[in-house]
Amino acid sequence: MIKAGCQSTSNLLLQLCILIDKPLKGILEATNIFMARQLFEYHPLIGYRFIPGLKARILHEAGGYFVRVNQTGFRSDCEFIPEKKNGKKRILLFGDSYTAGEGVANEQRYSDLLEKLIPNLEVYNFGLPGTGTDQQFLAYQEYAKNIEHDFLMIAILVENIRRNTAHYRIYQNEEGQEVCYAKPYYEMTDGKPILKNVPPSRQAIQESDIPREEKNFVERGGRFPLLRDVIKKMGLKDMAQKITHYQPFPEYDQKDSPPWQLTKGILREWITNHPKPCLLMPIPFYSHIEENSDPTNMQKRFQELAGELSCGLLDPLDALKKYPMSERRQFRFKQDIHLTPLGHAALAKTLVPFISKLL
């Protein structure tokens, strides 16, 4: 099994195993309370997906949570069917682990809460942990293009801008050793994103074997990893961010930065070729919600993009910042920075009036 090597990568990826041709249905590891099972299988286009039909209890700092996967290979209590029925409205939702619901049960995710809060609505959640906009676009092409719906919603954790530029991802195995895997990715050529490295290799690659010109395309989950780990262990991370005005994603600072141009190119290709209305939702990082870093440039980039593409933009940050600071800190877990049930509920509440108006 492979463990994710960065703080914001899904704990689900702690059990990612993409080295085999077929999924292992049996238990790989057990304790007296929880069972850690293989959750993902190799996919020749996207890289991986959840094992179809999987049901598993996942160990987590909050006490564990239950994962149910449909036959399409995404977390859902229902199957994704092509035709709409019973006059229901339908949203196709794409994102990473924040949307897939890392740390919470299916029914606690903001997508599932929206179904309860908005009458006659169903949300098909295609969230896939550890992915960027690139792999999410591939998941859309593979599984969602022919599904009837009212609009497409792309939930972009703002960290995804860094994942989009990566050609390799670093994970950690159970012995604490770093393991590197190649991934599918896009490159901008003549103003268009061109897909590369498909199918990605099943096999891990030694980082020392990566060509010199590719060394800068290895994603490690953030800048200054050694310093970040030391500060985190000392319990000073939040204070250090506030004092230094740390910007976790300088890639948004300039509109012509290569990472933003690539992210923008993928989204342009996705949205302009989609026949239905589209909604962009940048999911802010916890340091933006807790006001330890400045979101101005990030928000500006998405506002510019939505205007250029004439699509909807739902930025939940300002609404989330209206909560008291003590409550905002409860939007993420103590160690895991993913959304808690309270965080998902706050996000869903923010989305309801906007989506209701759209529908």
For the stretch 242-274, pLDDT in tens is 555 567 899 999 999 999 999 999 999 999 999
Query: What pLDDT, on a 0 to 100 scale, did the predictor assign at position 36?
Result: 35
Query: What pLDDT, on a 0 to 100 scale, did the predictor assign at position 205?
Result: 87
Tell me the angle at which helices 341-358 and 110-117 cross, rounded to the nearest 10 degrees.
Answer: 50
For the stretch 111-169, pLDDT in tens is 999 999 999 999 999 999 999 999 999 999 999 999 999 999 999 999 999 999 999 98
For the stretch 266-285, pLDDT in tens is 999 999 999 999 999 999 99
Q: Binning pLDDT at 50, 70 and 90, where does residue 86 land?
A: confident
Query: What pLDDT, on a 0 to 100 scale, did the predictor assign at position 28?
Result: 30
d(CA 335, CA 102): 13
Q: In the structure encoding, which two tokens stand for residue 347, read together?
A: 């996000």
Q: What residues make up the domain containing 230?
A: 2-358
Angle, CA 343 vertex, CA 51 and CA 48 arms, to 5°: 20
Mean pLDDT across the chain: 85
d(CA 210, CA 31): 37
DSSP SS3 for 103: coil
CATH, residue 69: 3.40.50.1110
Mean pLDDT across 59-79: 95
pLDDT for 328 beyond 90: yes
Q: Binning pLDDT at 50, 70 and 90, where does residue 237 land?
A: low
Q: In the structure encoding, which two tokens stand for residue 142, read together?
A: 């593979």
For the stretch 297-324, pLDDT in tens is 999 999 999 999 999 999 999 999 999 9
DSSP SS3 for 234: coil
Q: Give the count of domains, the chain.
A: 1
- Among 266, 299, 289, residue whose Cα is nearest residue 338: 289
Query: What pLDDT, on a 0 to 100 scale, did the predictor assign at position 208?
Result: 85
d(CA 147, CA 154): 16
Mean pLDDT across 49-65: 93
Query: What pLDDT, on a 0 to 100 scale, did the predictor assign at position 19?
Result: 31
Mean pLDDT across 214-221: 86
Query: What pLDDT, on a 0 to 100 scale, did the predictor assign at position 222?
Result: 55
How far is C-alpha 262 from the geometric centre of its chain's CA atoms? 17
Query: What pLDDT, on a 0 to 100 scale, did the predictor assign at position 20?
Result: 32
pLDDT for 11 beyond 90: no
pLDDT for 12 beyond 80: no
Q: DSSP per residue over 278-333, as a string?
A: EEEEEEPPHHHHTTSS--HHHHHHHHHHHHHHT-EE---HHHHTTS-HHHHGGGB-
Angle, CA 93 vertex, CA 259 and CA 281 arms, to 5°: 50
- 56, 27 Cβ separation under 8 angstroms: no
